[in-house]
Amino acid sequence: MTYLLDTSTVSLLLRGERNPEVIERHAEAEAAGAEFVLCPVVAYEVRRGLAHREAHRQRADFGAIEQAWAWDDLQWEDWHKAAELWARQAAVDAPRADADLLIAAHALRLGAVVVTDNVRHFEGLGVQVESWRGAGRPYPVRH
């Protein structure tokens, strides 16, 4: 299984002592041989937030994540897919943030599950979504 963690879940990992269920689910996925891919959009959002808060310890922890997880650059097809997703969502008056659309397009190309604490941001985009907070149950894909 390939996982692409959204900014919200990476942030929960970085504050692990307050989110033991997320740490546990991440460890279970690692033990099961899951692949973790770091999306450039997520890396940017996390880095800017840590820089803004001057969170030095979490910056070091995120550096370890950057070293451990696979990096996959956005491709032209991701940008095109994100534009299509935006147009489709706008047509039904359900616009989404560009960052979420790029993350979804990236995950779709990779066949990855998006792990997020903001499940609603990805509903209707055709991507498989899970939340690791609370029960950690997968949510159904809504097309």
CATH number given to 2-139: 3.40.50.1010
pLDDT at 142: 41
pLDDT tens per residue, range 43-86: 999 999 999 999 999 999 999 999 999 999 999 999 999 999 99
* pLDDT, mean over the chain: 92
- Percentage with pLDDT > 70 across the chain: 93
**Number of other residues whose CB lies within 10 A of the CB of residue 127:** 24
Tokens representing 116 are 């997020």
Region 116-138: mean pLDDT is 86
CA distance 110 to 100: 15
pLDDT at 141: 43
pLDDT tens per residue, range 7-30: 999 999 998 778 899 999 999 999
Looking only at the bridges linking them, the beta strands covering 129-130 and 2-5 are unpaired
- C-alpha closest to that of 86 among 44, 121, 119, 130: 121
Task: Say if residue 113's pLDDT is above 90.
Answer: yes
Residue pointed to by tokens 């963690």: 5
**C-alpha distances in angstroms, 136 versus 114, 117, 118?**
13, 10, 13
**C-alpha distances in angstroms, 7 versus 48, 93, 121, 131?**
11, 24, 12, 12
Do the Cβ atoms of 33 and 3 come closer than 8 Å?
no
CA distance 63 to 47: 10
**C-alpha distances in angstroms, 17 versus 21, 24, 89, 101, 109?**
10, 11, 37, 30, 33
pLDDT at 140: 45
